[in-house]
Amino acid sequence: MTSQRRVTLQDIADQLGITKMTVSRYLRDPQKVAEKTRVRIAQAIESTGYIQNRVPAMLSKSSSKAIGIVVPSLSNQVFAELVQGIETITRQQGFSTLIAHTGYDPLTEEEQVAVLLSYQVDALILTQTDHTLRTRKMLVAAGLPVAETMELPVEPIDIAVGLDHIAAATAATRRMIDAGRKSIVYLAARLDTRTLLRQRGYEQAMKHAGLKPLTVSTSAHSSFTTGSSLMQQAFQQSPGLDGVFCTNDDLAVGVMLYCADNGKTVPEDVAVVGYNGLDVGQAMRPKLTSVVTPRYRIGEVSADLLIKRIQGETPATSYVDVGFSFTDGATDRNHV
């Protein structure tokens, strides 16, 4: 009973003694068929539980009215919000979304891009800029609009919507420097592109202020426990540290928990700045100071640009810097 053929237009047509063309017409515009037929078709569709099969349309128009989204991780609120931003736009334009995830691995990205392309998506939204050669080739060959999001690639494939993570990290670090911190450490996990960009920004700010940068990192993925253990290492390597810049809020919260647990007061003893401005940080006391990345907006903007491109328009801009700001936190103040 599992593999009974799915109901088709033909089935419905046969059942009513008409042709599938009439049923097809009804589906796209009920007004186009006679009142009597209309009622009968409606009934038949209702009773059979007919579901539109998109596949033929994909075949003949080689378009699916779908946009593919490739995110690194499914459990990261950052990407969940990006997707929500995308979907507010796609939904109102009648596009659906296909979501794939890569676990931060360019090879998996390659695979997933191939899968999405094989489903004939009309556009692709990527969230990494580090692509394999084959990925790039496929994207070019497919000739569809592609948006790279979150960070701004040096050599964009096509559309780019994101923010300057180097500048954001520099600004974050400078806040602590301006507040009188001297020994600031950068905590990094899962060494993806963005983590490295932030490191660059951090190092620039430190060097510019004549301070010595120190990065403590792990290839493990970010979590609260990772944050705690990185902080422990940081104290070992730099006992006098008075500030930490964390590559994301998960680490930052782990740092705060570690401090609470080891007699260090934030921000008096140690300043902490996180990245992304997630709810976690805002639930802490004091509230975490963090870089706000407008990913909802990134989603909206990139979806909007892509749909315009799908529809044949040529938007003036294809490179959008959405900027950044800071949460209203208190973990980087009150020094000396």
Partner DNA sequence: TTGTAGGCGTTATCAG
Partner DNA sequence: CTGATAACGCCTACAA
Residue type, 16: L
Return phi, psi of residue 291, to 5°.
-80, 125
Q: Which is nearer to DNA, 31 or 236 (CB)?
A: 31
Unique residue bearing structure tokens 């120190």? 214
> What is residue 268's three-state secondary structure?
coil
The interface with a second copy within residues 33-52 (CB under 8 A) comprises 48-52
Q: How many residues does the chain have?
A: 336
User: Binding string to a second copy for residues 214 to 233, with x set by CB under 8 A, is what?
Assistant: ---------xxx-xx-----
Contact 298, 165 (CB under 8 A): no
Stretch that binds a second copy, among 24-32, 34-42, 252-260, 316-324 (CB under 8 A): 252-260
| Neighbouring C-beta atoms of residue 193, cutoff 10 Å | 15
Q: Which is nearer to a second copy, 39 or 59 (CB)?
A: 59
Q: Which residues pair with 150 in a beta bridge?
A: 162
Does residue 254 bind a second copy (CB under 8 A)? yes
108 interacts with, out of a second copy, DNA, none, CB within 5 to 8 A per kind:
none
What would the two tokens of residue 275 be? 């990245």
Q: Which is nearer to a second copy, 5 or 36 (CB)?
A: 5
Q: Which is nearer to a second copy, 32 or 137 (CB)?
A: 137
Q: Which of 16, 18, 27, 115 binds a second copy (CB under 8 A)?
A: 115
Burial degree of 58 (CB within 10 A; 0-12, 13-18, 19+): middle
Q: Give min distance, CB of 47 to DNA, in A.
A: 16
**DSSP H stretches of helix in the chain:** 9-16, 20-28, 35-48, 55-61, 77-92, 106-118, 133-142, 165-178, 193-208, 224-237, 249-261, 279-283, 295-310
> Which residue ranges make up the site for DNA (CB under 7 A)?
5-6, 8-10, 18-22, 24-25, 27-28, 32-34, 36-37, 52-53, 55-57, 59-60, 62
Q: Which of 40, 101, 175, 198 binds a second copy (CB under 8 A)?
A: 101
110 interacts with, out of DNA, a second copy, none, CB within 5 to 8 A per kind:
none
Return phi, psi of residue 318, to 5°.
-135, 15
Contact 166, 201 (CB under 8 A): yes
Q: Give min distance, CB of 147 to DNA, in A.
A: 24
Return phi, psi of residue 46, to 5°.
-60, -50
Q: Which residues bind a second copy (CB under 8 A)?
A: 1-7, 48-56, 58-59, 62, 73-77, 79-81, 83, 96, 98-101, 114-115, 117-120, 137-138, 140-145, 223-225, 227-228, 253-254, 257, 260-261, 279-280, 282-285, 309-310, 312
